[in-house]
Amino acid sequence: MTEYVGVLLYIAIAVGLGIVILFRSYKVRPRRLDLEKATAYECGFEPFGEARSPFDIGFYLVAILFLIFDIEVAFLLPWVLGGISTGSSGFFAFLLFLVVLTIGFVFEWQKGALEWS
């Protein structure tokens, strides 16, 4: 467990830095809040509708395709860390894994899933 002390230190420094920045900016900034400043402002009008508007479903498709390739990358990492010692057979399994996923990539490219019109 001692090999993760660096990670712990990193997280502690990041959290501490974030706290310091937020706290200092909170303390240092001038606070002169009046009624006009606190109103919701949208080009001089009252807000017309919800700030949240529904997305196009194309974003979701891109996110799902990203998720699949993300999982693929997660499966490639054990090969780098230990699978190299399995030699050429492991390498060909690795290549076959990549080829099957490349077929899927070519499929979605040809179907136009990566196009944005």
Interacting residues with other proteins (CB under 8 A): 1, 4, 50, 52-55, 57-61, 63-68, 70-75, 77-86, 89-90, 93-94, 96-97, 100-101, 103-105, 107-108, 111-113, 115, 117
CB-based contacts of 94, cutoff 8 Å, min separation 6: 76, 79, 83
Q: Which is nearer to other proteins, 20 or 100 (CB)?
A: 100
CA distance 111 to 105: 10
**DSSP-assigned letters across all residues of 21-57:** HHHHHHHHS-----HHHHS--BTTB---S-S--PPPH
CB of 34 to other proteins, least distance (A): 26
Q: Which is nearer to other proteins, 12 or 21 (CB)?
A: 12
Q: Which is nearer to other proteins, 36 or 115 (CB)?
A: 115
CA distance 48 to 41: 10
Q: Which is nearer to other proteins, 39 or 86 (CB)?
A: 86
CB of 78 to other proteins, least distance (A): 3
CB of 95 to other proteins, least distance (A): 11
In this structure, what is the dihedral angle of CA atoms 80, 83, 85, 90, given to the nearest 10 degrees?
-120
